[in-house]
Structure 1
Amino acid sequence: MSVSSPPKDIQEAPDAGFGKRPLGKRLAGANTFWIALVLVALIVVFSAIAPGEFPTLFTFQTLLIETSVLLVLSVGMTFVIITSGIDLSVGSVLIFAGMVAGKVMEAMSGGNASGAGWGVILVGLVAAVVAGTAWGLLNGFLIAVAGIPPLIVTLGTMGASLGAAYLLNNGSDVRSIPVVLNQTLGYGTSFGVVPNLVIVAVVITLIGAWLLHTTKFGRYTFAVGSNAEGARRAGIGVTRHLLKVYTLTGFLAGVAGFLSLAYYASTTISAHTTDNLNAIAAVVMGGTSLFGGVGSVLGTVIGVFIPAVLKKGFNITHVQDFWQMIAVGAVLVAAVWFDQRRRRRRNSR
């Protein structure tokens, strides 16, 4: 029995609708384009207000360093939100992974931070990644297999992983971190100007972009977020894929925990309690839809830098940090409003 091909008008619809649109209209309809303009405008404004302080190499180096850990978290969050999910636990998982790595390295070095070598550091890295991945796998199992809503699952594991981190060291930070780790990865540079921490974050971000935008894994992520039932009927293992996505997010939270350990030379439990909300805000500001099916890693990168530029600019121009909260909140609400407006316009066609 022969299978008839789709009607010609359906075959030509995607090309006819997209290929004939002028470049300007395509850019005007892209969330990433508008949010990039906001970032550029902020840089221009602060550079004009403080020309001798803001547009400097030191400022941009510190901006990159301060956003590296959050960027790694946000890459994982991008995959989750594209699937129409959420992960409130990433900040606590980061803390737990850093605590596990810190305790392992402390035990192996006998508390001698200056005497620990790269063998100890490598074991610490593996411990952080395994710890983060385990929480991600648990999230994925409870969400994809047990069918519990992501909000409830990750809210529960957020508290559980943070409590476990406190229990590991009786509520205190681990401070005996190998000196060579802090000097090389935390504050070391390559090519004289590029911080090593930033290089690691950039490599992870590029791998995340490649995975999301060029591989079958990425296509499945968009398909599940657009229509999970439709994806299931098309032969995609939705349960298995969601399990992989949340496991990936936990893995990246573990990596972020190790990077934070390298930068601060301590576990800094209190420094990451809002990282989950910051990652979600960055992803949404970057144009990823909370309804799923739409998003990009490039947009997430831009979304991460908007609050960082605001904070740095306000500090340099001596504006109270409270205004940063108002500004970030306004941009976040505007991004969600723009996404809803675009969805309504698309659905009305």
Structure 2
Amino acid sequence: MTVSTPTKNGPEIQTTVDGGFGKRSIGQRLIGANTFWIALVLLALIIVFTAIAPAEFATLFTFQTLLIETSMLLVLSVGMTFVIITSGIDLSVGSVLIFAGMVAGKTMEALSPDGDATKAGWGVITAGLVAAVVAGTIWGLINGFLIAVANIPPLIVTLGTMGAALGAAYLLNNGSDVRSVPTELNKTLGYGTSFGGVPNLVLVAVVITLIGAWLLHTTKFGRYTYAVGSNAEGARRAGIGVTAHLLKVYTLTGFLAGVAGFLSLAYYASTTISAHTTDNLNAIAATVMGGTSLFGGVGSVLGTVIGVFIPAVLKKGFNITQVQDFWQMIAVGAVLIAAVWFDQRRRRRRNSR
């Protein structure tokens, strides 16, 4: 779609907000989309590892584990998709996840007898969830205010809040993890299953992803997100409140980081600070590998889902085939660079028309 921007002394400005497909056929659109090629990469990886180790890789347990391990990263990456489509970046989501998990853990400890949250019920667990979501949302508001209102570059703002949120998390428990987590939370949400053995953690991530896809692809909020990323000035002249919209986008990302922090607490039964130190980079890499353009204005939640699974499949496949983890880093880096190169090539081709 395009946003038509009237000007005072000239013709309307046409701003592309969906990748500039024009009147091409469905087949041409499919082949020209980053998502299509990234999906082929993922499919090829699955086929290769299945052929190499069919008895170990192509099993229900392996795919269940893959889904669980990617759930928290997927929730983070949905928020990152919105941010990068607006031509922004958020380096703080991993630290916000840790901070939100820490706040939830400390809240549940404080509301439990003798500070032992292991036997706490769903009332205390619900309070922990609210605390995590509020904590994440506050950091998102801080990022949004500094970026949208104070006009500080997103890279600088989120680099600063990345360190600040992590430092605040350490201060809350004197630099150590919270390990007193309700057993009921870990049993029900962390490892519980429903609907024929589907992990509850995965169900939550799927619901959030579907809501994110609906929000991005079918609502005014999503259309504004594409418009701001494609041409912020054109969107502003078309009557879109760019400042308010960026504030909402970063707040949404903080909210989802808070949710991811609570999911992590449920799964690991601990805040596991060391396990999330690279989550911000992993979320950015997954989003970009899924076809979301770092230049803004282009991206999809479906692509992000595919991008999240590429490093997960590589890690699982390399572990099963006993290949060193270092090769996974090289392979993910190569796919990431290829995705950015393909995006730049497509942009140059489109702009030359």
- TM, length-normalised to structure 1: 0.94
Report the residue type matching 1:233 in the other structure. Answer: R
Counterpart of 1:57 in structure 2 is 60
> What aligned pairs does 1:281-296 form with structure 2 within 5 A after superposition?
281-296=285-300
Counterpart of 1:175 in structure 2 is 179
**How far apart are the structure 1 equivalents of 2:157 and 2:149?**
12
Counterpart of 2:30 in structure 1 is 27
> Structure 2 stretches of 5 or more lacking a match?
1-13, 15-19
Counterpart of 1:188 in structure 2 is 192
**How far apart are the structure 2 equivalents of 1:149 and 1:341?**
26
Report the residue type matching 1:180 in the other structure. Answer: E
**How far apart are the structure 1 equivalents of 2:22 and 2:237?**
29
Report the residue type matching 1:85 in the other structure. Answer: G
> What aligned pairs does 1:145-294 form with structure 2 within 5 A after superposition?
145-294=149-298
**How far apart are the structure 1 equivalents of 2:24 and 2:86?**
28
**How far apart are the structure 2 equivalents of 1:244 and 1:289?**
20
Residues 17-61 of structure 1, C-alpha deviations (whole Å, 9 max, x = no match): 968634332211000000000000000000000010101000000
User: How many angstroms does 1:252 deviate by?
Assistant: 0.2
SS of the aligned residue for 2:310 comes to helix
Report the residue type matching 2:71 in the other structure. Answer: S
Q: How many residues align?
A: 336
Counterpart of 2:102 in structure 1 is 99
Counterpart of 1:305 in structure 2 is 309
Counterpart of 1:89 in structure 2 is 92
Residues 297-330 of structure 1, C-alpha deviations (whole Å, 9 max, x = no match): 0000000000000000000000000000000000
Cα RMSD (Å): 1.5
Counterpart of 1:109 in structure 2 is 112
**How far apart are the structure 2 equivalents of 1:244 and 1:224?**
12
Identity within the alignment, %: 90
**How far apart are the structure 2 equivalents of 1:141 and 1:330?**
35
Report the residue type matching 1:218 in the other structure. Answer: G
- Match of residue 123, structure 1, among 122, 127, 150: 127
User: How many angstroms does 1:129 deviate by?
Assistant: 0.2
Report the residue type matching 2:93 in the other structure. Answer: V
Residues 138-182 of structure 1, C-alpha deviations (whole Å, 9 max, x = no match): 000000000000000000000000000000000010000000000
User: How many angstroms does 1:114 deviate by?
Assistant: 3.5
- Match of residue 70, structure 1, among 53, 68, 73: 73
Counterpart of 1:8 in structure 2 is none
User: How many angstroms does 1:85 deviate by?
Assistant: 0.2
**How far apart are the structure 2 equivalents of 1:23 and 1:120?**
51
Residues 79-109 of structure 1, C-alpha deviations (whole Å, 9 max, x = no match): 0000000000000000000000000001111
Report the residue type matching 2:239 in the other structure. Answer: G
**How far apart are the structure 2 equivalents of 1:154 and 1:253?**
13
Counterpart of 2:6 in structure 1 is none
Residues 272-295 of structure 1, C-alpha deviations (whole Å, 9 max, x = no match): 010000000000000000000000
Report the residue type matching 2:338 in the other structure. Answer: A
Report the residue type matching 1:278 in the other structure. Answer: N
Relative to structure 1, the CA distance from residue 229 to residue 283 in structure 2 (aligned partners, 3 Å threshold; closer, same or farther) is: same
Report the residue type matching 1:197 in the other structure. Answer: L
SS of the aligned residue for 1:53 comes to helix
**How far apart are the structure 1 equivalents of 2:287 and 2:170?**
28
User: How many angstroms does 1:193 deviate by?
Assistant: 1.3
User: How many angstroms does 1:242 deviate by?
Assistant: 0.2
SS of the aligned residue for 2:119 comes to coil
Shift >4 Å, 4+ stretches = 17-20
> Structure 1 stretches of 5 or more lacking a match?
1-10, 12-16
**How far apart are the structure 2 equivalents of 1:191 and 1:153?**
42
Say if 2:339 is the partner of 1:335.
Answer: yes
- Match of residue 141, structure 2, among 133, 137, 141: 137
User: How many angstroms does 1:115 deviate by?
Assistant: 2.0
